[in-house]
Structure 1
Amino acid sequence: MTVSDSVDYRAMFRLDGKRALVIGAGSGIGRESALALGALGARVTCADIDLAKAEETAGGSGSDSAATLLDVRDADAVAAAAAALPDLDVLVFTTGRNVRKRLFDYTTAEFDDVLDLNLRGAFHIIRAFGAGMVARGGGSIVGMSSIRSITVEPGQAVYAASKAALVQLIRGAAAEFGPAGVRVNAVAPGVVRTPLTDPIFAVPEWQAAYAAKSALGRWARPSEIAGAVAFLASDASSFITGSLLCVDGGWTAVDGRYDPPR
């Protein structure tokens, strides 16, 4: 018998019996991530700053799902949520804010708002929930970064800086939590059709430019990002930590879209 003969490859993608929390589950990628984890057998708690939307997602995430109100900018609220979920196996957070303005037009207040949610909020989340996972000796944390952590365009400098810093925060957590068996990874979506990107999608030139930049020539669906989240949450990724998984249709791999003549 070889080593592979003893592995149940179907089971390693399952999340049966796992307790999961998805922060930002009210819409978009967070919502689809919660639905994906629930479909794979996890007991999902859906957290969002909009409780009604979290409850709506929980309604489709399985009979054992629950919803809770959470503002990750509030360190005390995050700590209380972590205390209320002492047996957490999977943590996914997709919260984020983007103010698309050029640097000369940015206000200090807008800069603070973006960093407060995208980076400080992630700091609260990783510390509070990571502590419990480290104490129990296992778990998977998945944070939502962006292709803007790698590549940028005018009007995205502050958002890009926050998402790049998030990747390094996640890598640092992976280094510190790894000896306890806790994995910490980031997902970097490309352009995804969600309510947050509807204003971009509504401009034909902008929509087409973004679609053309990727190798696949289209925008992503939230469910396509949720598949990557589910993989990182499962035992199928048991030797992956400190990684940035780009789910961008080839955006960060392709340099230009000109197809030279043969």
Structure 2
Amino acid sequence: MSPNIKDLFDLTGRKAVVVGSGSGLGQASALGLADFGAEVIVADLNVEGAADTVRLIQEAGGTASPLAIDVTDTATVEAAAREHQDAEVLVITPGYNARKRLLDTTEDDFDRVIDINLKGTYRLMKAFGATMAANGKGSIVTFASFRALVVEPGQGIYAAAKAGVVQLTKTMATELGTQGVRVNAILPGSFETPLTTQIKNDTEWWDAYANKSALKRWAKPHEIAGAVAFLASDASSYVTGSSQLVDGGWMANDGRFEPKV
């Protein structure tokens, strides 16, 4: 007999570690998973932001607790994985961008973007992937970006890092699939978050982004939560190694001109 599809989205009794959930898309992801019943570990370097997210979840009747974590520190990441060996969901959202043309970047820019976006994801996937594989179950959701697929001037290092996240995601999906662990990437488009403040402060740049998508607008953070909940839950039990665009149709839309036809 087929299961009740609605029940497959239920995360009651499952622990979800959401890294980078003190603000932005990470916070929206944590709130969404809590709405579906998960016990959420709100992990962030920003302990005040993490506390705010915990408060929001608890005020809504959910269960959450904070966790200080630095994705650039392997020991911290490994300690978090040991502390939460029973986690069935890991969501990796931290991001950092140095918006400069390549000729203007420094090696410090390169190292920081790669260390947070790519190597930080690697550290978390490796540490939590090992415990999930040992437990025979789990879902890892990485955050790449539509910039993994298409770039613009000033996005080079970030785009390279996010493309690397996509490939790490595919690799771990193939390596841990038979051990009950699914691994998928989400590729957000133009979301209004602290990471896009620089664009918001430039009206021409901001409007150009809005007009490029098929929906002709920027996304709000909560609009990422449905994709996260789907990939975290049993509703996506046969989905692994995928790259889920949440981009308002950016990649589908040429965007240069709308002919009168």
TM-score with structure 2 setting the length: 0.97
The Cα shift of 1:257 comes to 3.7
2:12 matches 1:16? yes
Question: Shift in Å at residue 61 of structure 1?
Answer: 2.0
Q: 1-side partners of 2:241 and 2:50: how far apart?
A: 28
Q: Report the alpha carbon displacement of residue 103 of structure 1 after superposing the two structures with TM.
A: 0.6
**Aligned twin of 1:34:** 30
- The equivalent residue for 1:210 is 209
- Check conservation: 1:212, 1:257, Cα contact below 8 A: no
Gaps of 5+ in 2: none
> Superposed, which structure 2 residues align to 1:24-63 within 5 Å?
24-62=20-58, 63=62
**For 2:38 and 2:255, how far apart are their aligned partners in 1?**
41
Deviation at 1:57?
Answer: 0.3
Specify the code of the residue in structure 1 equivalent to 2:163.
A
Pairing 1:1-262 to 2, within 5 Å after superposition: 3=1, 6-62=2-58, 63-262=62-261
Aligned length: 258
Q: Distance in 2 between matches of 1:64 and 1:219?
A: 30
Structure 1 segments unaligned to the other structure (5+ residues): none
Of 57-66 and 120-129, the range deviating more from structure 2: 57-66
| Cα separation, 2, equivalents of 1:261 and 1:64 | 53
Deviant stretches of 4+, over 4 Å: none
Structure 1 residue 198: Cα displacement: 2.0
Counterpart AA for 1:18: R
User: Is the CA contact (8 Å cut-off) linking 1:25 and 1:33 kept in structure 2?
Assistant: yes
Query: Pairwise CA RMSD of aligned residues?
Result: 0.9
One-letter code of the match for 1:208?
D
1:112-162 per-residue CA deviation (whole Å, 9 max, x = no partner) reads: 110011111111100000000000001000011000000000000110000
Give per-residue Cα distances to partners, 1:39-80, cap 9 Å, x unaligned: 110000000001111011011224531001100110011000
Alpha-carbon distance in structure 1 between the residues aligned to 2:220 and 2:226: 10
Which residue identity lines up with residue 25 of structure 1 in the other structure?
S
- Equivalent pairs: percent with the same residue? 51
